[in-house]
Structure formats: structure tokens, C-alpha cells
């Protein structure tokens, strides 16, 4: 995890099994922070983002997620959105971009 700056809108933590836990707001500023953190952990494995604690997301944040999805696709893998918050789900629905990601709800991820 990179150092936490109190002015950052987003905190990114790497949890067990390389799950990337995202806490805060994915906007223009937060999206850049998230992209940089994910880029440090890119591999052939799926990128798993735990979005349960995302309190806000806008289209600039969504573009960051879509960029991660594109890069993952180029590596032959995918991006998993685990436990997306209501805010995330709503934006995916509004923009019709939900099918770009693999989405795991709480019960699915708990079962693994």
C-alpha cells in the first residue's frame, strides 16, 4: 500500500489473495490513485477489486475502471468487482457498462 495522504479521496489496500480493497471516492482524483495502485499489482491473474466501501463514484472514476478492464483484457485476464456498493452498481446501470466486468456479490465471494 502506498502512503496515505489525508487529502486523498481514496485509500487502496492490498488484502489476502491480492484482493485490492478500495475505500473512499472514485472520482477524477481517486481514479488516478486507484489506477496507479492497480498498475503496481498487474499480473496474469484477474484483478479483484473489493468495492464495498466505495462511497462515491462518477464517470471519471468509471473510466478508470474501464481502463483497468481494457488493460486486463490485453493481458488475457479480467477485472472482478467484488461487493460493489450501491453507488457503484447504480453508475454501472446508468451507463450500461456492467457487462464489462465480472461482478461478485457478497454471497458469491463468501462462498469461495
Partner 1 sequence: MSGETTSPERVDGSRPEFGSATGGPVMLQVPSDARMGRVARLAASSLAAMARMTIDELEDVKIVVSEVLAALIEHGDGDDITIRFDVADHRLDVSGYTTAIEFAVDGAEIALSATVLAAIASEHSIGHREGQLLIRATYLASTHEDPPASGASA
Interface ranges with partner 1 (CB under 8 A) = 7, 9, 25, 27-29, 32, 56, 58-60, 62-63, 87, 91, 94-95
For residues 48 and 68, which CB has a smaller minimum distance to partner 1 in the complex? Answer: 68
To partner 1, the closest distance from the beta carbon of 47 in angstroms equals 20
To partner 1, the closest distance from the beta carbon of 107 in angstroms equals 25
For residues 43 and 95, which CB has a smaller minimum distance to partner 1 in the complex? Answer: 95
∠ CA(9), CA(58), CA(36), 5° rounding? 50
To partner 1, the closest distance from the beta carbon of 80 in angstroms equals 21
Question: Quick one: residue 94, left, alpha or beta (phi over 0 = left, psi -120 to 50 = alpha)?
Answer: alpha
Rounded to a whole number of angstroms, the distance between the first and last alpha carbons of the chain is: 24
For residues 32 and 109, which CB has a smaller minimum distance to partner 1 in the complex? Answer: 32
To partner 1, the closest distance from the beta carbon of 24 in angstroms equals 10
Phi and psi at 102, nearest 5°, equal -95, 125
Among 110, 87, 89, smallest CA distance to 99 is for 89
Amino acid at each position: 500500500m502506498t502512503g496515505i495522504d489525508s487529502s486523498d479521496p481514496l485509500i487502496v489496500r492490498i488484502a489476502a489473495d491480492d484482493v485490492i480493497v478500495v475505500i473512499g471516492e472514485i472520482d477524477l482524483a481517486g481514479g488516478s490513485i486507484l489506477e496507479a495502485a492497480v498498475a503496481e499489482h498487474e499480473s496474469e491473474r484477474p484483478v479483484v477489486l473489493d468495492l464495498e466501501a466505495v462511497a462515491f463514484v462518477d464517470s471519471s472514476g468509471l473510466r478508470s475502471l474501464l481502463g483497468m478492464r481494457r488493460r486486463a483484457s490485453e493481458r488475457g485476464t479480467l477485472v472482478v468487482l467484488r461487493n460493489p456498493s450501491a453507488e457503484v452498481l447504480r453508475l454501472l446501470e446508468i451507463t450500461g457498462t456492467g457487462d464489462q466486468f465480472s461482478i461478485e456479490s457478497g454471497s458469491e465471494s463468501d462462498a469461495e
